[in-house]
Each structure stands twice: as C-alpha cells, then as structure tokens.
Amino acid sequence: MFARGLRKPSSVRIAGKRLSDVLAAHERFARAAEGGSRAELAGVDLARLDLAGVVLTHANLAGARLDGACLREAKLTSADLSGAKLKKTDLRTCDATGANFAGADLTEADLSGAELFRADFTGCVLRRASMRAANFRQAILRNADLTGADLNVASLRQTDIEGAKLDGADMSTSIIRKV
C-alpha cells in the first residue's frame, strides 16, 4: 500500500527552490550547523512524496497537504503539523515527540511503532488509523476522532483522551494507566 509511485523531493520546487535543498538546509538547522535554515512548509502540497527518514525537527508544516506521503522513520520532533492533511500517510516508526497535530486529518494513516510522547492531537481525525505499538505517553488526544482505529499494544499512559470518540476502536491490548 505504501511507497508506490511516490515523488522524490528533488522533483518538487517550493518558492523556486528544490525541496531536497530545503530539506538539506533544514537538517543543518536542526543540528545548529552553519548554513541551516528552518523549513517553512506551511500550506505546501507535499502529497505522495517520499520523505522517509527526513529530519523535520521544529519544521513548520501547519496546514500542509501530505496525503499518501511516506514519512516512515522521519524525525518530526516538535514539528508543527496543525491542520495538516495526512490521509493514508505512512508515519511508521517516526519520532514525533512533542509534535503538534492539533486539527490534523490522519484518516487511515499508519502510525505503528511511532514515538508520540507529549504530542498534541487535540481535535485530530484518526479514523481507521493504525497505531499499533505507538507510544502516546503524556500525549493529548482530547476530542480526537478515533473511530475504528487500531490501538493494540499502544501505550496510552498518562494520555488525555477526554472527549475522544472511540466507537469501534480496538484497544483490547492497549496499555492505559493514569498516574
């Protein structure tokens, strides 16, 4: 299902620059290296792109369109993905510690094995998403729509799920504990 027919970052231009160059500069920014600059990708169409393993720590992706993209093993620590479109996006084993997904649409996305510690999913749509073995410790899922989601073996320790819609969600082997 994932990784077929994806575009390469070198084939996409944003404000006259190749996306691959923007990503390379952002990786330097994330490392605080010379020549780095923050990736400002708010509202940009990044659908069906192969972004596996990219470093987007602290990147601005608010409102970006990432439907069907591959972000497997990507570094999304403290990234702003609020209001982003991430339908059917591959986020397996990504590190999104402290990322902001508030209001994002992750319908049928795959977040299996993802590190989502302290991430904010307030009002997020996660219908039929696969989140097997994901770590949601201290995350916020307040008012999120998890209808039909697979949360087996997911860690929901100290997670705020107040007002979340859990109709048909499979949580039979989830780890849930409030402290």
pLDDT in tens, 87-124: 999 999 999 999 999 999 999 999 999 999 999 999 99
Q: What integer pLDDT is reported at residue 178 of this predicted model?
A: 58
Between CA 137 and CA 139, with CA 138 as vertex, the angle to 5 degrees is 90
Q: What is the pTM of this model?
A: 0.93
User: CA 97, CA 148: separation in Å to the nearest integer?
Assistant: 24
* Section 44-56 average pLDDT: 97
Q: How far is CA 137 from the centre of its chain?
A: 15
Average pLDDT value over all residues in the chain: 95
User: CA 176, CA 138: separation in Å to the nearest integer?
Assistant: 11
Q: What integer pLDDT is reported at residue 171 of this predicted model?
A: 87
To which H or E segment does residue 18 belong?
strand 17-18
Closest of 158, 96, 162, 90 to residue 123, by C-alpha: 162
Rg (CA), the chain: 16
pLDDT band at 174 (very low <50, low <70, confident <90, very high): confident
DSSP alpha helix (H) spans, the chain: 19-30
* Section 63-86 average pLDDT: 98
Q: What confidence tens digit (pLDDT) does each residue in 144-159 have?
A: 999 999 999 999 999 9
pLDDT band at 43 (very low <50, low <70, confident <90, very high): very high
Task: Count the Cβ atoms, other than its own, within 10 Å of residue 157.
Answer: 17
